Structure formats: structure tokens, C-alpha cells
Structure 1
Amino acid sequence: MHIDLTGKTAIVTGSTRGIGHAIAAGLARTGADVVITGRKQDDVDRALASLRSAAPGARVRGVAADLGSAEGFRVLTAAEPQADILVNNVGIFAVQPFAEIPDEEWTRFFEVNVMSGVRASRAYLPGMQRKNWGRIVFISSESGLNIPADMIHYGFTKTGNLAISRGLAKSLAGTGITVNAVLPGPTLSEGVQDMLGSGGDRAAAEKLANEFVREHRSSSILQRVATTEEVANMVVYACSMQASATTGAALRVDGGIVESIA
């Protein structure tokens, strides 16, 4: 299958590293004009350099903005007023006992993980509707279905992503705009490596992550973590012309962790 998105503008939020960065690279290789975002200009600049190295000739640019706030979206939309493809990837996670999560942390997770996708979709949807073509993808998680006991606030926001993506897809019935959610399982991103305390040693981090999967996500059929590129492959497909009949879906890249057929 050859995916060609030449002439399309794709915005990937939270894409200076990790899954978002892999998605941006995947879209850049299809010929799309890719816009990445990050909170700090230095991070954006480094990520752009990395993308240009990974995909020579790629048409990529970036915006530094904190998308955990409405003000951050004013910065983004002023710089990039339209998009054909929107990947709502920006998100945060943390392990924390329920009784120790203060109100402010619940609010922060909601603003970053949920409202960022709401604001971005609301901002870029009118342009897609004028063209009667568009792709919106929410990066949810298998944790949105299997709520982790030690990350309840995170799981709650990822369930929210599923509800919003399904409802938004239904509201666009009969149009050329699709809305889907992608549900990664444990993935060897930089954030996970940091959480595992591997000291930047990727091989050590992968070993620890695979042990975590086998011990704490024992229903995994894959029995290992996914790579960021494996998650990105699903997202790039969902953004493609070829995925025109896929909408309102929860597309799993969870290695079979979720114990259900449908």
C-alpha cells in the first residue's frame, strides 16, 4: 500500500519526541506538510532537525506553544490557521495513588489530555468542513478501557478521548471527514524510558519494559512493548485516503492486552 498525502497539511500536537514524533516522521514520509508542536522552542528546533534527518526533503515546521491552555491554542492557530489532518497526541501520564491526587492534578490532566483535543478539533474542523475532507485522530490508550489502579486520573482522560472521538465522528455522518481513536498499549517512548529510570540506555529500558508487560499486563498477546513506529504506522493509515471507510473506531495497537473481541 502506497500512502500519498502530498498537498495535505498535518498538525501533530505534542510531537517533539515519543509517539508524536514518530507519527510526525511517518506523515512526513507520505509527502504531507507536517506541523509539530512542543512547549519549548529549543525542543521544537531539535525535533525539526531530527525529522529532516530521518526524512530528507520533508516539509516540516513547528510551533512552540503550551497546548494545556486556551492561550496556547491561540498561539498555534495564529501560526497555523488550517489543517487537513489533525492528530491529537499531546498528553501527560504519571503513577500516583488515588488518595494522593489533588484537585489541581485532576484539572491539569483534563486540560492537557482532553481539552487539548477538544480545542484543536473545534479550531480546525470548520476548514475541513469547507473542503468536505479531513482526518482527526485522538491518541487514547488501552488504559482508557483497562483503567490502571495507580493511574486513575490518566485512564479517565483516555476514556474521555474515546467518548469524544466517537461522538464527533457521529456528528460528521455523511461527510468526507473521519474521526478515530488509536489505543496504544505500553510503548517504548522516551517518557516510558524516563519513568523506568534506565539512564538513557535503550536496551536496558526495553528489557525492563518487556518485564513490566509480562508481569503487569499479562493478557498481552505480543508479550513485549510496542515501538513508537508501530503505533505511528496505525495513525498514518488512519490519516490516509485509503482509510476513507474507517471512522468512529477505536483502533488498538495494544498487543492484544484488552480482553475482548470487539
Structure 2
Amino acid sequence: MLDLGLEGRTVLVTGATGAIGRAAARAFAEQGARVALAFRYQREAAEALAAELSGPDGGRAFAMPYALDDAASPRWVVAAVEEHWGGLDVLVAAARRRGARRDPHTRFEDVPEEHWRPLVADGFVPAVRTVQWAVAGMRKRGWGRIALVAPAQAPDGAADGEFHAVARAGLHGLVRGLAGDVGGDGVLINAVCPGPTSPDRPPTPPDRPSTPPDRPPTPPDRPPATPEDIARALLFLCSAANGTITGEALTLAGCR
């Protein structure tokens, strides 16, 4: 059996109450890792998951709030893990906002900067902040794994979704560029890009399009990937078994 080398490792999962984040947290816990669950709104769900994953000694998981729009939040959650367990080995950044688009009734050239700047920043800046704080300790300890969850269609663009595409392409650029900088310090960073996932997605709000601008519709003859499929990819990329894969974007879209 492949030894993933995750026993006793410390893992921070942002977006831990989402379908992918929850599946990832369970997958790491099953391998003996200690898991910190960062959530935005669903405190009860996060604390219930932490209780589920804590194990007999009650100390293998805990939950804490994390806000994408709070500049101090990434620093706080990373510091909390490092203080609680003495260091952070793995970051799974699964918290993200979906479907940021400009007003479809406004031409691209007429969108004022104060409108498009948040569309870019909201999809890119929180991940940069979290990676910055996480990677510092990893470099000092000489080992670390980082995985960003990003849309499969990030570089391609879509109608009314230009600024969203810029942000997601920026995530891919971050992964590609940072990989060369931190690889010599034992830190690997990759992106995992899911297509539509099933079955655990909440209903689409009535004021948002049913298909986000970066996501094609699912062909009826090919099933979408499940959150557990995505979690298994995250598990390998963030394990000791992965010694060379870095700077890559792995697309897992069962519908494509």
C-alpha cells in the first residue's frame, strides 16, 4: 500500500464546510493527519465535523472562523494552527467565491475600475494572503504542501466573466511562479481544478445564474466528479508520496 506519510501532519483546510473542503478534511483525517477546519458561516457544521474527526483523544481537529474579505483572517488562522500544533505542514485552500461577473448590460470598456477591481481581487487576493502566511513557516521547517482549489476553466474566460477569468488565471500564475521559488525549500504547490461536482452542492440562489461563467454545462452522458474524487487528488498532491509534482494545475472534470 502506498504510504502517504501524513500520519501526525498538520493540515489547514479553508472552506471546510463546503463539499470539497469537507471531503478533503475527512480524507486527511483518515490518513492520521491533524486537521484545522476554517469556515465562514456554518459554525455548527464546522464544529460537528471537528468533533467527528477529533479521534479518541479529542485533539486531532478543531474549527475556527475564516473570512475571505478580511485581510487579517489568513494570518490569524495560520498562526492559530502553528500555535496549537507547533507548525503547519499542509494548506488546502478550498474557500472561494463563485461566478463573479460584471453587469451583462454594461460593455467591457464601460466598466469603471471601482467595479471591476473587486471582481478580480475577491477571487485572487485571499488565496495570495493565505499562501504567504502558510509558506513562511513551511520554508523554515523544510517541508510543506499547498493545494489551491480553482475552477477548471480559469484561463479560458466566458461571456461577462472577463474579470473572474483574470482572477482565476492569476491563481494559476501564482502556483506556477511560486513553485520555482519554494521548491528548493521542500515546499510543493499545485492547483486542483474541479469541474461540476455532485451531489453535495447547495441550491443556486435565485439572483445568480445557474451556470457560473467559468463552468460549462455537464454533458448528460458523463458523470461529474464527486467531492471525494477531488479530495483524493488533494490527498496525494499534499502527501509525502508526492516528491516532484509542483507548479501544476490538475483538471478533474468528469464531464469534459
Q: TM-score, normalised by structure 1?
A: 0.78
Structure 2 match to 1:91:
96
Aligned 8 A contact 2:75 2:130 in 1: no
Distance 1:212 1:26, change over 3 A: same
Equivalent pairs counted in the alignment come to 236
Alignment of 1:154-233 (within 5 A): 154-188=164-198, 190-191=200-201, 193-195=202-204, 212-214=217-219, 223-233=222-232
Distance 1:108 1:80, change over 3 A: farther
How far apart, in 1, do the equivalents of 2:253 and 2:204 lie? 19
SS at match of 2:241: helix
User: Which range is displaced more, 162-171 or 56-65?
Assistant: 56-65
Gap regions ≥5 residues in structure 1 = 198-204, 206-210, 216-221, 258-262
Structure 2 match to 1:66:
67
The runs of 4+ residues in structure 1 deviating greater than 6 Å are none
Aligned 8 A contact 1:128 1:134 in 2: yes
How far residue 190 of structure 1 moved from its aligned partner, in angstroms, is 4.4
Aligned 8 A contact 1:19 1:189 in 2: no
SS at match of 2:153: helix
How far apart, in 2, do the equivalents of 1:157 and 1:53 lie? 35
Structure 2 match to 1:32:
33
Structure 2 match to 1:202:
none
Aligned 8 A contact 1:90 1:112 in 2: no
How far apart, in 2, do the equivalents of 1:188 and 1:26 lie? 17
Distance 1:190 1:107, change over 3 A: farther
Distance 1:102 1:38, change over 3 A: farther
RMSD: 2.8
How far apart, in 1, do the equivalents of 2:118 and 2:61 lie? 29
Aligned 8 A contact 2:50 2:63 in 1: no
The one-character-per-residue Cα deviations of 1:25-45 (angstroms, maximum 9, x if unpaired) are 1111111111111123xx133
How far apart, in 2, do the equivalents of 1:105 and 1:56 lie? 47
Structure 2 match to 1:238:
237
Structure 2 match to 1:218:
none
User: Which range is displaced more, 70-79 or 231-240?
Assistant: 70-79
**Paired-residue identity, %:** 28
Structure 1 match to 2:213:
none
Distance 1:171 1:98, change over 3 A: farther
Q: Kindly indicate which of the two structures has a greater share of residues assigned to helix.
A: 1
How far apart, in 1, do the equivalents of 2:31 and 2:131 lie? 22
Distance 1:51 1:225, change over 3 A: farther
Gap regions ≥5 residues in structure 2 = 211-215
Aligned 8 A contact 1:39 1:64 in 2: yes
Aligned 8 A contact 2:3 2:241 in 1: no
How far apart, in 1, do the equivalents of 2:99 and 2:114 lie? 14
Structure 2 match to 1:10:
11
Aligned 8 A contact 1:166 1:248 in 2: yes
Is residue 156 of structure 2 the alignment partner of residue 146 of structure 1? yes
How far residue 56 of structure 1 moved from its aligned partner, in angstroms, is 5.2
How far residue 147 of structure 1 moved from its aligned partner, in angstroms, is 2.3
Aligned 8 A contact 1:68 1:108 in 2: no
